Amino acid sequence: MAVLCLAPITLRAGDVAAPVQRCTFTEYQEHVRQLAAIVDACKAQRSAAACNPRLVGPDNYVETAEGARAVRFDWLRRTLAEAIPGKVPAKQGDDADAQLAAAASRLAQDAGSAPEPAPSTANVRAHLTTVLAMHRFQRYQQDPSLLDRARAALLRWLWNRLNSVAEYGGRNPWIAHGLEGLAIAAPCVLLAWWVLMELRKQPGLPQRSEPVVAQAPSAREWQRWLEEAEKFARESHWREAIHHVYWAVISRLEAHGLWPADRARTPREYLALLREGHALKPELRSLTRSFEVIWYGHRPAGEEQYHEARARMEKLVPR
């Protein structure tokens, strides 16, 4: 196993840095022609002597009028080493022939063209200066103004504060959970409050914009209706007392704008003005029913019925 592992290292000797020899372009072309002859001999003989990577010689540092550039032949050394029969990882048969043919073609091209010189530092700097002199780069070369520095300082301060808050939140995850709960609970509470307020309103009734009708219940203050009811109660006129208690309730609700003033309505019509589900409708329905039975039905009434009407009135129009 040690031999198998070390064999590729031995055969890739071309990867080791080779010495570099300075030469002119003419000498470089002569060297390339010699390398082409070596490749042809290796392809023909396929022996260790003909394909020895050491025959490639040193790398070249070619000097031309346009500049100088280093040319390495590691690829050729590797190709020759892999073409030796019986070596690992040697390429046998058609693979080795194809690589040697490709090497010969490359060397033939290199013999007729000079290597591109590396750009000089002065040329690179001049080109960079030309690019930076363009209009779109001018604003980056100017010194920042006092306002720009102040804005940058403010942004840095805000960024640092936000980072501090984020770090504190990372150390205390309950803050994030609390904020999430608050963000969910606050809209829900506001929505519930708005729905409750809307349910308490009486929709669909026009607002009173004209003076109160002279014969409307609200034309007389509800306190006056109640005083007269108490007077009738002291005299044991219970039917009249309940009658005045009912109209005291109607006067109070009408004065609060629960419906437009109109004396011509019947008790059932007043009750119908309240929508189903209104908080006051159950008590007003009970008061209206007892009032109709006693007043319009000519039923006898007593102190008990009077106190029941007063109790319903307290729920409808609390003082």
How far, CA to CA in Å, does 225 sit from each of 19, 39, 243? 124, 129, 9
Q: How many CB atoms lie within 10 A of CB 147?
A: 8
Residue 304 pLDDT > 80, yes or no? yes
End-to-end CA distance of the chain: 107
Dihedral sign (CA 78, 82, 84, 88): positive
Mean pLDDT check: name the lowest of 53-57, 108-112, 313-317.
108-112
SS (H, E, C) the chain: CHHHHHHHHHHCHHHCCCCEEEEEHHHHHHHHHHHHHHHHHHHHHCCCCCCCHHHHCCEEEEEECCEEEEECCHHHHHHHHHCCCCCCCCCCCHHHHHHHHHHHHHHHHHHHCCCCCCCCHHHHHHHHHHHHCCHHHHHHHCCCCHHHHHHHHHHHHHHHHHHHHHHHHHHCHHHHHHHHHHHHHHHHHHHHHHHHHHHHCCCCCCCCCCCCCCCCHHHCCHHHHHHHHHHHHHCCCHHHHHHHHHHHHHHHHHHCCCCCCCCCCCHHHHHHHCCCCCCCHHHHHHHHHHHHHHHHCCCCCCHHHHHHHHHHHHHHCCC
pLDDT digits (tens, 9 = 90+) for 111-134: 666 556 566 688 788 888 888 777
Contact 1, 72 (CB under 8 A): no
Question: 3-7, 97-101, 143-147, 305-309: lowest mean pLDDT where?
Answer: 3-7
Which structural domains are found in the chain, ordered by start?
Answer: 2-112 (no CATH), 217-316 (1.20.120)
Query: Is 90 exceeded by the pLDDT of residue 155?
Result: yes
Span of 40-54, 110-124, 199-213 with lowest mean pLDDT: 199-213
CA 73, CA 54: separation in Å to the nearest integer? 11
Based on its alpha-carbon atoms, the radius of gyration of the chain, rounded to whole angstroms, reads 54
Average pLDDT over residues 171-195: 86
- pLDDT 10s digits, 57-73: 899 888 877 677 888 88
- pTM value is 0.35
CA 10 to chain centroid: 58
Q: What is the pLDDT of residue 208?
A: 47
Among residues 285, 280, 274, 286, which one has the least CA distance to residue 315?
280
What are 260-288's pLDDT values in tens digits?
Answer: 777 678 888 888 888 888 888 888 888 88
